[in-house]
Structure 1
């Protein structure tokens, strides 16, 4: 019986994941079945139950399904229960408003980073939110900060081969180790067109009361605009924001670069 329940949860989760991954709007039942590998009748039954519970919904008379309000409510409640989100939200919003660039707060989830906060400044308008989205750790300023408490052996086991996205992406673990050590000494990380061309970002680690890295905060935007603004000044801004959040989380002593 337990195995059947677990299988049912797994199938429902795969349906939700397929719908969430859609980049073309509402997803038809037949497309969901193909994406999940489930049979049409099984998919139909799952969708009916998920629709009844509010986990998926139909938009007007459209034939497809989208993520429902129950998921949105649970996501909102989960964020509000997260101490890093609660402590960093106001600071990140102020940082985006003051600098004009995109401000993000992220935590590590396995071999990826997950965005907890996302605010847009006047220079960084977006048509979508980054909250809940993931990015690779080795190719982002946020990710480099989130790797500070790991050893090279742990990073090799965690990340495996490092995908290369641009000519600037770190593609070898030896180079990643050197970069992590540089970030440790500097107290901040820079992402110079490593994930996408024309993009620049800088981040700083957020620490808890014990000094461990629990999150990171960044600002990012168009390369030319950020250089015009002054990279050194923006690094100071993001380090100050990270320190403010860390103090709010209980950090009361300085952390040596190590």
Structure 2
């Protein structure tokens, strides 16, 4: 992997190894990490040994496989807890999940991807595979559509590329369809997603603004795909209209905590 101009190659390589261990299977061979990073096996082995001494990587004594070490946990926890969006949204999302029984997420944009900062699950939410720090495509989530709501069509083309990858058969794969969704977010103040990222699941999201009026994050309620279907037999507190209102109000509360007017 060629170094970036003005950066330290050793640091770049060590970070590449850590990121490789954070992807895919939790336990990986030296050859797996080597293939993921493009580094030679001997270089990869030396980096893993050094990171193991620093408690950032663990090696299973029986299998010889490597995984991220617990030494990374304090760093990740401090980074999350000091992030202003995480601080402002944590209690609001806990209350939202408790009141609705659904899952509640907050995410920010990191380049061309959505990164989740935290996730809370209610009893009505399906089993979740969302973790803090996980990244997913922006175009396939309600949160992602909110995060893209202040971008132009040309900016989205440059950011996401000409091809939008399908996560399921329901994922938006054309920029024309995505543009229409973004226009709807701007008109309505919220976004929806039905089985676009995972089958059987749906979500409602609203943008979070900072003191400058910029979309700094977005929050969502997620649950079974029936979440967005109006059902006359469903209690009023869990109808789509009620859920949208609760998400938007929660997003407004977080925005105010970040200094938005």
| Residue in structure 1 matching 2:188, options 186, 190, 193 | 186
1:154-198 CA distances to partner (integer Å, 9 max, x unpaired)?
A: 111111121233343222222222211111110000101222222
Q: Identify the range of structure 1 (138-147 vs 127-136) with the bigger mean alpha-carbon deviation.
A: 127-136
Query: Which of 224, 229, 234 in structure 1 is aligned with 2:243?
Result: 234
Q: Measure how far apart 1:125 and its partner are.
A: 5.3
The residue aligned with 2:258 is: 249
Pick closer, same or farther for the CA change 1:217–1:39 going to 2, 3 Å.
same
**For 1:19, which of 15, 18, 21 is the aligned residue?**
21
Q: Residue 206 of structure 2: SS of its match in structure 1?
A: strand
User: So what's the TM-score if we normalise by structure 1?
Assistant: 0.89
1:25-71 CA deviation, whole Å, 9 max, x = no partner? 32222332333333332222111110111111124644211111222
Matched residues in 2 for 1:4 and 1:156: separation?
A: 29
Measure, in 1, the Cα distance between the counterparts of 2:128 and 2:63. 22
The range that moved more, 204-213 or 34-43, is 34-43
Inter-CA distance 241–3: structure 2 relative to 1 (3 Å threshold): closer
In structure 2, relative to structure 1, the CA distance for the partners of 1:95 and 1:4 (3 Å cut) is: closer
Tell me the SS of whatever aligns to 1:191: strand
1:75 and 2:76 are equivalent in the alignment: yes
What's 2:143 paired with? 142
Aligned to 2:111: 110
Q: What TM-score comes out, normalization by structure 2 length?
A: 0.88
Partner of 2:157: 156
Structure 1 runs not aligned, ≥5 long:
253-258
Write the mapping of 1:180-219 to structure 2, written as runs, cut at 5 A. 180-219=182-221
Structure 2, unaligned stretches of length 5 or more?
Answer: none
2:85 is aligned with 1:84: yes
**Per-residue deviation at 1:224?**
2.7
RMSD between superposed Cα atoms in Å: 2.1
